[in-house]
Amino acid sequence: MEKKLYYGIGHRRITPEVPISLAGYFNIRMWETVADDIEVRALVLKQGRKYSAVVQFDLLTVSQELMEAFCGEIADQKVITRRNLIATATHSHTAPHVLSIRPGSHPGYVPFVAKKAAEALREAMDHMVPGELFTGLTRDDRFCLNRRYWMKDGVVVTNPGKLNPEISRPEGEVDYEIPLIGIKSEGQLKVLIANIVNHTDTIGNSNVSADWPGFLIRRLEGKLGTASMVMPLIGASGNINHFDVYSDRDQTSYGEAQIIGCGYAETIEKALPGLHAVGSFKLDTRSLEIVCGAREVPEDEISEARAIVEKFKDAPDPGVGANLTSEDLSRKTPVALKYFAKGLLAIADNKEPVKFNLVGIFLGKCCIVSLPSEPFVEIGLQIKKGIFHQYNTLVASHSNGTGNLRIGGGYIPNPWNYGRGGYETTPRSNPFSVRTADSLIAAWRKMAKTRD
């Protein structure tokens, strides 16, 4: 007979209390006010002597700096380690920097967050109760689109602008599915994990916010009641966002975050009666560390970047002020061209490889698997539909650091995306080897055949 599942949950507020820039854009954005609080959430699972945990931050990513600080805070306990821990982020672009070498960062913020995360984890471990595992699947096609478009001139542009007459068609796929995992205690749903494939960049100002995941959490936790936790894991969405380029509607605002978050919450809420019990199962964790090379930068691209920096040497560098986004690169503004050219040269000088720690938590016929940074949607689909098709699979991106203290994150495109255009494939935005996607998929294929 299989042993009973126990679970524990913990929350802590990580809203900044120090002057610090918000992450996610290329310029400094010192936070001004708090639109809504951001937090860290911890879920611990236990079956017999086996443990696993998912810790989620309302941050842009889990940098290696944050991962190291958090693991240092929990080093005194031995049952949760890097081998059975998924530390992930919602990818909010209105949350503070967690890479201290970035301009606008604050040296005290990462230690503060790590300490709060450790407190949330210990709270979860100190209040374990028996639970019953449930799973299900729903979908919502209203809010996510592939943001890379083939243009009529034969190149790909990211976020080419609304109603741009030169747009031909989207370059890639989307993933509308929302896999669900729930835990009930005494007949009541107390934990709900929903895997949503969409970017978390809706608001676009300098006010602290959890963006649309915050609205989703607040609405669903309000329905589930006290002592509940909702965790919206962000899937592989490096080339996915909410912007409809065929509409002229303004989609950058706090109100838009509310529309998306509450919309997803409504869809998920309707699916809750259809959750079914997993039944008897064994808690299993699997982990693998892989090493990927630094970004390969051809000499001709280096020469071109040097020429651009020289040509636009009088153009200002991004600082505090107007946002610099991918749209500026698509318009080829001097500031954007110079910024990305300087970024390419910096990446070309960095030969340090990166390590990715991949962790999977397997719960009968459902599982949670981690991916680092910002993988493209097709990578997540290959894992869900090609490797773990027999499971209800949740893919958690932005997880477990990068193994490189100089890199906070970056996009992970498919091999075929390179050479077409779009800012995600530029060295400034993608500091990893062009073979990284293949390495990640190969690693998960290997882990599908082995046990930890």
Q: What is the pLDDT of residue 332?
A: 74
> Do 359 and 411 sit in the same domain of this protein?
yes
Quote the CA–CA distance of 92 and 210 in Å, as a whole number. Answer: 6
Contact 173, 377 (CB under 8 A): yes
pTM: 0.93
- Residue 42 and residue 37: Cα distance in Å, rounded? 16
The angle, 0 to 180 degrees and rounded to 10, between the axes of the packed helices 109-126 and 64-73 is 50
The pLDDT of residue 341 is: 83
Token pair listed for 307: 């020429």
What domain range includes position 366? 5-141+175-289+355-448
5 CB contacts (<8 Å, ≥6 apart)? 45, 46, 47, 130, 131, 132, 133, 183, 283
pLDDT at 1: 44
- Domain assignment present for residue 153? The answer is no
Dihedral angle computed from the Cα positions of residues 132, 371, 94 and 123, in that order, rounded to the nearest 10 degrees: 40
213, containing H or E segment: helix 211-224
pLDDT of residue 27: 84
Question: What pLDDT does residue 393 have?
Answer: 98
Same domain, 366 and 341: no
Are 344 and 403 in a shared domain? no
Residue 166 lies inside a defined structural domain of this protein: no
User: Which has the closest alpha carbon to 432: 323, 356, 336, 363?
Assistant: 356
Q: How many domains does the chain have?
A: 2
> What sign does the dihedral 316-317-319-322 (CA atoms) show?
positive
- Per-block average pLDDT, block size 10, for the chain (452 residues)? 87 98 90 97 97 98 97 95 98 96 94 98 97 98 98 96 97 98 96 98 96 98 95 98 97 98 98 96 96 86 86 73 62 78 79 92 96 98 97 98 87 96 88 95 93 48
Among 451, 345, 354, CA closest to 412: 354
Do residues 186 and 318 both lie within one domain? no
- Per the document, the length of the chain is 452
